[in-house]
Amino acid sequence: MNPLRDKLQSIREGRDDPPPIARTLGINLVEFGNGSTTATLKVDSRFHNPMGTVHGGILTDLAGLSMGCAVASLLEGEESFTTIELKINFLRPVIETELRAEARVLHKGRTIALVESVLKNSEGKEVARANATQMILTPR
């Protein structure tokens, strides 16, 4: 088993507290395992930028969490990871909705993983797509 994977499973099952950033924003880990993750976040005016829409950084946080958890679900032994690249495309404005981030690992090698996340609003419409490259870290 992997300590990070075990911790995330415990968070999803409600037996452990989420990380501080997830708690601060209100991100919930709904599904976790086998290289995929679903996370949700209710957004409203608390997350708005000066234009009256949800700030892109909030969408990026949700996507990043979902992608990191998807990679973590595949870690073995004492492996961990770090993000070495993250890209997001914003497809439509978000004002008030429950966002759903569905992430899946596209490739996991010995040292690199490629993962994507699709963010949808409560109507099921895509609002953003993100990709990340994760470096798999192994203890020396």
pLDDT tens-digit profile, the chain (140 residues): 799 889 988 998 989 999 999 999 999 999 999 999 999 999 999 999 999 999 999 999 999 999 999 999 999 999 999 999 999 999 999 999 999 999 999 999 999 999 999 999 999 999 999 999 999 999 87
Alpha carbons 53 and 109: distance in angstroms, whole number? 38
Three-state DSSP state, 111: coil
Which of 140, 118, 139 lies closest to 129 in space, CA to CA?
118
Those residues whose C-beta lies under 8 Å from the C-beta of residue 86, and which sit 6 or more positions away, are: 60, 63, 64, 67, 130, 131, 132, 133
- CB atoms under 10 Å from CB of 26, counted, come to 14
Alpha carbons 140 and 138: distance in angstroms, whole number? 6
Classify domain 3-137 by CATH number.
3.10.129.10
Alpha carbons 25 and 18: distance in angstroms, whole number? 11
Tokens (6 digits) for 33: 């395992």
* pTM of this structure: 0.95
Structure confidence at residue 1 (pLDDT): 77
**Beta 126-137 vs 97-108: how paired, if at all?**
unpaired
Structure confidence at residue 139 (pLDDT): 86
Structure confidence at residue 140 (pLDDT): 79
